[in-house]
Structure 1
Amino acid sequence: MLPFIRNDLAQFQAYAPHPGGDSGSPVASEIILDRLDTNECPYDLPLELKQKLAWAYQHEIETNRYPDGSHTTLKDAIVNYVNRGVPDAESPVNSTNLCVGNGSDELIRSLLIATCLGGEGSILVANPTFSMYGILAKTLGIPVVKIGRCEDNFEMDLAAAQNAIEHPEKAPIRVVFVVHPNSPTANALTEAEINWLKSLPREVLVVIDEAYFEFSQTTLLGELLQHPNWVILRTFSKAFRLAGLRVGYAIAHPDFIAI
């Protein structure tokens, strides 16, 4: 370990999402069709769509210029898409509710920096779940509190979760991460779990990862704006087959997005 690296990072190894050969290079896509560890779509984009993307890159994108940091055009398109998914919402989402990131990982890291960095707090996760919450938190020196799930239905152990909130062992829990539906167990949040999230104090940020919304068609977007301490994460990496382009977005209260 290099002497200038933090001691708590000594346990980490480089993340390798796919098995490789002797050289460590990834196995060719045609050999492994279903990469279950990353839940990638096995089918690439149609050639016609790739040609349109290539044309736009050649004729419309100036690579010598910095891009629009506010992502105005992309946000407007996402707003239209998101609102179609909740047609009866009392308060439709607008661009002030959106933040776009380089994949959900960048958004998760930004949330952690804004809430827990510098010993301000810890995060709560219910394992098994998406591993990057804990990995990103640990790289930032943020404590990770892990609770279990019921063996018969994979529901969160809410008693353990509440105890962790009320009696923190280290820094107070500032962020609760849940996935709706969860990966890898595939179960959506139950009414009891949703009610528990609603009961949390406003000092606790609730991050609801809806990466698989397009498959489940279950969402808490209709209730989001009633809870200023809720954030919904979504991605274009799964149903839209754009994992290689790294586009994720967060939906939250405008005051939080503005930070």
Structure 2
Amino acid sequence: MSRFWSDHIHALQPYVPGEQPKQNLLKLNTNEHAYGPSPKVLEAIAAVTNDRLRLYPPYDSAALIAAIADLHQVGTDQVFLGNGSDEVLAHVFNTLFLRDNRPLLMPDITYSFYKTYCRFFGVPSELQPLADDYTITVSDYTRPRDVAPAAIIFANPNAPTGIALGLDDIAAIAQANPDSAIVVDEAYVDFGAQSAAALLGQYDNIVVIHTLSKSYALAGLRVGYALANPEVVAGLQRVKDSFNSYPLDTLAQAGALAAIQDRSYFDEKRAAIMQSREQLTAALRSLGFQVLPSKTNFVFARHEQVDAKHIHQALRDHGILVRHFNQPRIEQFLRITIGTPEQCATLLTALRDILSVQS
């Protein structure tokens, strides 16, 4: 606490990210890519690491925006860039969610940064409980309301559950709320789900958020973007340019462009991660875990007999870090990032050892 702080700082409750350990642990807690970026990314970054770094980066990020627009078959005026999807989300909250004190609807179990941003921006929210099987209940978002929501936001696939909603359900939500922004946060969509970008031509209220941190293995570069109708993008740009007129640095633009253009590497590693996910899911179930159906690069699992907090600590004692959420409804679940086959084998060996002691 400081007497120099602005008044509102005292009440803030910052987002707490997954642990970044300093010791040598097998890190399966923050859903980073198992294999690392394309070699072409490293070449592209090296090519611009020279005395031109004294110059400001391209203000309009034209080459990267064109590549993203081509990837999703949208216009360049439908792409908004930011320093990671969290910054893009911050601008979305500021641009679209502060409307006559109308509520923001979102699941009770989802990406916890949404609640942090609600507190930060003063956005009123209404939590809609997930069903008993941890799926989103679509009717909670389509039923008539006395006050229309300012917006609706959910991660798809959801985090930390990993469960994906189909495009028909997303379309139904958008159609039922024509005057509300429907923000679909697709950080993990490339691992087996369908992107709502396919609906942009039909629904002008859909906003799709993507990141290059997960499926492109660029968490260290901080690149995210939104896809939306041009008027929404113009509003996001107006807010961004009032905050920071240069969204991405030179290295990030070069690396992101190379990653998007190397489709063969992207497809190869994505397929490998999805294959490992299915193998790990089957192995965990054979050990007595319930594993929710995942379309992400992680699994969300709980053991039928052994407490999650105990398993979490025991894995750490074995040099393996996974994520435990100590919150209602999911306190018995562990979120486990899909590693390489060798890393998954190490995890399973440790779990067998831990569970054998409990039996």
With the shorter chain as reference, the TM-score category is 0.7 to 0.9
Tell me, in whole angstroms, the C-alpha distance in 2 between the residues paired with 1:161 and 1:79.
Answer: 29
Shift of 1:256: 1.5
Residue 118 of structure 1, CA deviation: 7.5
* Alignment map for 1:163-182 (pairs within 5 Å): 166-168=145-147, 173-182=149-158
Match of 2:49 among 53, 57, 69: 57
Alpha-carbon distance in 2 for matches of 1:180, 1:121 = 23
Contact 1:115-1:121 within 8 A present in 2 as well: no
Q: CA deviation at 1:7?
A: 5.3
Q: Decide whether aligned partners of structure 1 residues 72 and 128 sit closer, same or farther in structure 2, where only a CA change above 3 A counts.
A: same
5+ residue gaps, structure 2: 236-359
Mapped to 2, the partners of 1:138 and 1:207 lie a distance apart of: 18
Give the match's secondary structure for 2:25.
coil
Q: Does 1:93 align with 2:74?
A: yes
CA positional deviation for 1:156: 2.1
Determine the C-alpha separation between the residues in 1 that align with 2:40 and 2:169: 43
> 1:200 is matched with which residue?
176
Residue aligning to 2:65: 75
List runs of 5+ in structure 1 lacking aligned partners: 20-25, 83-91
Q: Equivalents in 2 of 1:11, 1:73: separation in Å?
A: 38
The DSSP-based 3-state class of the residue aligned with 2:50 is helix
Check conservation: 2:174, 2:205, Cα contact below 8 A.
no
- Structure with greater contact order relative to length (CA < 8 Å, sep ≥ 6): 2
Change (3 A) 1:67 1:48: closer
TM-score, normalising length: structure 2: 0.58
Q: 2:21 aligned with 1:27, yes or no? A: yes
Distance 1:167 1:30, change over 3 A: farther
Cα distance in 2 between the residues matched to 1:16 and 1:116 = 23
Report sequence identity in percent. 26
Map 1:1-259 to 2 at 5 A: 1-2=1-2, 4-6=5-7, 9-10=10-11, 12=13, 14-19=14-19, 26-28=20-22, 30-35=24-29, 38-45=30-37, 49-58=41-50, 62-82=52-72, 92-117=73-98, 120-152=101-133, 154-162=134-142, 166-168=145-147, 173-190=149-166, 193-259=169-235
Give the drift of 1:217: 4.2
Deviation at 1:55, TM superposition (A): 2.9
In the alignment of these two chains, the number of paired residues is 234
- In our comparison, the structure showing a higher alpha carbon Rg is 2
- Alpha-carbon deviation of 1:155? 2.3
Contact 1:44-1:241 at 8 Å conserved across structures: yes
The CA distance in 1 between the partners of 2:23 and 2:50, in whole Å, is 27
> 1:80 Cα shift?
2.5
In the alignment, residue 25 of structure 2 is paired with which amino acid?
I
Q: State the alpha-carbon separation in 1 of the partners of residues 2 and 124 from structure 2.
A: 23
CA RMSD of aligned residues (A): 2.7
Does the Cα contact within 8 Å between 2:105 and 2:128 map onto a contact in 1?
yes
Q: CA deviation at 1:72?
A: 0.3
Q: Deviations over 1:29-57 (max 9, x none)?
A: 7413212xx32124433667435412322
Q: Hey, what's the Cα distance between the residues in 2 that align with 1:51 and 1:191?
A: 37
Task: Kindly indicate which of the two structures has a greater share of residues assigned to helix.
Answer: 2
CA spacing shift, 1:216–1:106, aligned 2, 3 Å:
same
CA gap of 1:68–1:120, structure 2 versus 1, over 3 A, is farther
Question: CA, structure 1 residues 72+213, in 2 after alignment: closer, same or farther (shift >3 Å)?
Answer: same
TM-score (norm 1): 0.78
